[in-house]
Structure 1
Amino acid sequence: MGKNDFLTPKAIANRIKAKGLQKLRWYCQMCQKQCRDENGFKCHCMSESHQRQMQVFGQNPTRIVEGYSEEFERTFLDLMRRSHRFSRIAATVVYNEYINDRHHVHMNSTEWATLTEFIKYLGRTGKCKVEETPKGWFITYIDRDSETLFKERLKNKRLKSDLAEEEKQEREIQKQIERAAEKFNISEHSSGEGETSNRENVGADDERKEDEELKLKSGVKVGFSLGGGSKHGTGKDRGEGSKRVFEEEENERVQKRKASGDPRKSEKERKSALEELMKEEEKKKEKINRKDYWLFEGIIVKVMSKALADKGYYKQKGVVRKVMDKYVGEIEMLESKHVLRVDQEELETVIPQIGGLVKIVNGAYRGSNARLLGVNTDNFCAKVQIEKGVYDGRVIKSIEYEDICKLA
């Protein structure tokens, strides 16, 4: 067995002494050797093996530094993807985890002199989301894997197809409403024409009446001139003429009543028909849009998980930054700015003050933004007015608290 072999007491003692992290300035990346003190590092630099490595480095220093930089960046991002894929974490914490491996690529062999420079580089290149806070630099990994991108594309396609179907249904419903309105307008027009025809008929009847009166008068005169035999005939004609006049007057009154009653009836019928159509539309949309998941990005929710009470998150509010698998949300707490991953069963919707903006998270108008107009505390429902979109300006008189949530 040689003097410095692996199982010799000296080699074992050296390994025990070298266990754990040593000072970075006494590490030679080219030789991958860690020295325990300044004297050891000086001796290593004077050694023949180190001189040979320095000659190799001198031939192409830029390429070697770039290689070390790429390896350092790749291993750092791999650690982020494995351990902190969906969380916002301090950069120093990740770096300490990274340097736990004794054989890692040291930062003094890369193009970055400090950790801050490296973090800024990650932010510039869009590989991580970087934030500077009073507590230091915080980073969030931006997932750009092909699998996740493919899933996101599929999700976006599904959302687009759902929106297209909804818009198609809304257009069909609007067409139905327009058709119904046109029918009622036609019926009104026809009733108006009926009124004019009735007036014409009444005018003709008046003319006929006048003619008959003239005839009666002439008949009476003739009767008186001819003698008593013709009196009986004129009396009969007069009786028939007066009867006809009274019947025509009665008919005229009835027609006037009908004509005066038609517009009101048609208006009421039109209103009731439109209301029925709107109710049918809401029922259809309620069936389609009522889901068992309700999380949306950008809403403010309240954490109701008692398991998180020890950490001080119970009944605290946060903003939903990301929704995963429909039922789980990444919540950024408003006070501490910590990011938690919480299931929707342990979250609760938040109702703003009257006049505040809300998101309709479930039901017929799911996904629409609205303004809170009033609150009914007895029935646990609210009155809102939709803003923007197809239903802009529509007022929903009673929507449950669970179906609306405050917008951030």
Structure 2
Amino acid sequence: MGKNDFLTPKAIANRIKAKGLQKLRWYCQMCQKQCRDENGFKCHCLSESHQRQMQIFGQNPDRIVDGYSEEFETTFLEHMKRSHRFSRIAATVVYNEYIADRHHIHMNSTKWLTLTEFVKYLGRTGKCKVEETPKGWFITYIDRDSETLFKDKMKNKKLKAELAEDDKKEREILKQIERAEQLMPGGENGGMSEKEKVEEKEMEMAVGKVAFALGGGGSSRVGGSGIGKESRVMFEDVGEGEREKKRTKKDDGNSVGNSALEELMKEDEKVKERVNRKDYWLCEGIIVKVMSKKLADKGYYKKKGIVKKVIDKYVGEIEMLDIKHVLRVDQAELETVIPQIGGLVRIVNGAYRGSKGRLLSIDMDKYCAKVQIEKGAYDGRVLQAVEYEDICKIAQ
């Protein structure tokens, strides 16, 4: 049996030692060789094969480091997807599970010096949800595979169908309102039923006949024309009185119709307010103000930016207007921006959520504004008292 045979005690001992995880400082990523101690690592660094690998590394170090970084990130996320797909877990636990494989890509060969930097990178790029707690960093994998995307797509399709149905109902209500306005009287005889019109016409014909008969009979006895004239005037006064009564009745019908129309519109607005009032208001394309005092030392406090992307409804990616830096800020640390009179705004919450309009006036005492909606089903409608928090300036 040879000196270095497979079944010798020394070979078995060497395999047992090599089976477990060794110290990272004695691992060479370029040669993918793990040394057991400092002397072995020193001898490996002086070897000819390691020198050749280092020459290759010296020709393009950035490309090699980026390659290792990309491979480390991919395998780390694959492990997260398999083992902790729907759970919130400590980053150190995941990392210890990942490095249990002795053939993994070591972090000291990537562009991240510490696990904290890598976790922050995952949070910035939106690949994981990152939280800092007194017990350390916790991460949650964000599932973006085809199945989840398909479910989200179907959910969005359902929401769009519901919104389309709501718009259809609102259009029907608007048509009913327009029909009611058209049925309201526009002139003297407008709005009267056919029966009322026939009765008024018959009354006028009867008055004319009586006046003509009286005028004709009186002319043979007492000068004729004087009695006829007085009788005609008397009956014309009676006719005018009847018309005034009908006109008064018609005006009362108008007031009742107007009040019923106003009640219908108020009920419609209450329904839309109940449906569209949400606890989140961020949307893309609006200008907001950063109110986080934690960012004051960075120079972002009370600075304005454009919402470029909305994440999980409550977090927005904000591109600052002056320095073009991109921040990820929660909506609790943001504030809406009110433009100048005549500027374009977007209604971000309430009954008319999602509509665009133009700012007509501002009430500083009541902290509300007057807005006229432009485009859409409610084009031209004027909203009298809209709170500052429900409207925001649109980025041009």
TM range (shorter): 0.5 to 0.7
TM-score by length of 2: 0.60
Q: 2:283 aligns with which of 286, 289, 296?
A: 296
What 5-or-longer segments of structure 2 have no aligned partner?
1-8, 34-40, 54-66, 86-97, 112-123, 128-141
Q: Is the 8 A contact 1:302 1:316 kept in 2?
A: yes
Look up the match of 1:317.
Answer: 304
Q: 1:330 aligns with which of 304, 316, 322?
A: 316
Give the C-alpha shift of residue 370 in structure 1: 2.0
Look up the match of 1:57.
Answer: none
Matched, 1:77 2:83: no
Give the C-alpha shift of residue 391 in structure 1: 1.0
Q: What is the aligned-residue RMSD (CA, Å)?
A: 5.1
Distance 1:330 1:254 in 2: 69
Look up the match of 1:224.
Answer: none
Distance 1:139 1:357 in 2: 32
Distance 1:190 1:371 in 2: 39
Distance 1:23 1:188 in 2: 92
Show CA shifts across 1:219-268 (max 9, x none).
679xxxxxxxxxxxxxxxx99x9997676344123034346667766665
Look up the match of 1:40.
Answer: 48
Letter matched to residue 208 of structure 1: V
Look up the match of 1:406.
Answer: 393
Matched, 1:358 2:355: no
Cα 1:242/1:393, change in 2 over 3 Å: closer
Distance 1:364 1:27 in 2: 63
Show CA shifts across 1:345-388 (max 9, x none).
33222222333332211111012122223222221111222222
Q: Is the 8 A contact 2:346 2:392 kept in 1?
A: yes
Query: Aligned ranges for residues 193-342 of structure 1 at < 5 Å?
Result: 194=196, 198=200, 201-218=203-220, 248-258=235-245, 270-326=257-313, 328-334=314-320, 335=323, 337-342=325-330
Show CA shifts across 1:324-359 (max 9, x none).
444x213234135233242x3332222223333322
Distance 2:149 2:302 in 1: 34
Look up the match of 1:373.
Answer: 360
How many residue pairs were aligned?
Answer: 315
Question: 3-state DSSP class of the match of 1:391?
Answer: coil
Letter matched to residue 292 of structure 1: D
Letter matched to residue 210 of structure 2: R
Show CA shifts across 1:180-226 (max 9, x none).
235435982536985686466445433433323433454679xxxxx
Matched, 1:19 2:25: yes
Letter matched to residue 216 of structure 2: L
Show CA shifts across 1:54-73 (max 9, x none).
xxxxxxxxxxxxxxxx9996
Question: 3-state DSSP class of the match of 2:360?
Answer: strand
198-207 or 330-339: bigger deviation: 198-207
Q: Is the 8 A contact 1:360 1:366 kept in 2?
A: yes
Question: 3-state DSSP class of the match of 1:188?
Answer: coil
Letter matched to residue 329 of structure 1: V
Distance 1:4 1:394 in 2: 86
Q: Is the 8 A contact 2:185 2:254 kept in 1?
A: no
Cα 1:243/1:293, change in 2 over 3 Å: same
Letter matched to residue 330 of structure 1: G
Give the C-alpha shift of residue 307 in structure 1: 3.8
Q: Is the 8 A contact 1:320 1:329 kept in 2?
A: no
Distance 2:266 2:370 in 1: 17
Q: 1:390 aligns with which of 368, 377, 392?
A: 377
Cα 1:380/1:78, change in 2 over 3 Å: farther
Show CA shifts across 1:256-296 (max 9, x none).
43466677666655554433332232222112222222222
Question: 3-state DSSP class of the match of 2:190?
Answer: helix
Letter matched to residue 19 of structure 1: R
Give the C-alpha shift of residue 4 in structure 1: 12
Q: Is the 8 A contact 1:318 1:331 kept in 2?
A: no
Distance 1:43 1:256 in 2: 113
- Select the structure of larger CA radius of gyration: 1
Q: Is the 8 A contact 1:321 1:329 kept in 2?
A: no
Q: Is the 8 A contact 1:23 1:36 kept in 2?
A: no
Q: Is the 8 A contact 2:368 2:388 kept in 1?
A: yes
Query: Aligned ranges for residues 144-163 of structure 1 at < 5 Å?
Result: 144-146=144-146, 148-153=148-153, 155-163=155-163
Distance 2:68 2:143 in 1: 19
What 5-or-longer segments of structure 1 have no aligned partner?
29-33, 46-69, 86-97, 107-114, 116-137, 222-237
Distance 1:147 1:306 in 2: 40
Q: Is the 8 A contact 1:21 1:102 kept in 2?
A: no
Identity value in percent = 46
Give the C-alpha shift of residue 322 in structure 1: 4.0
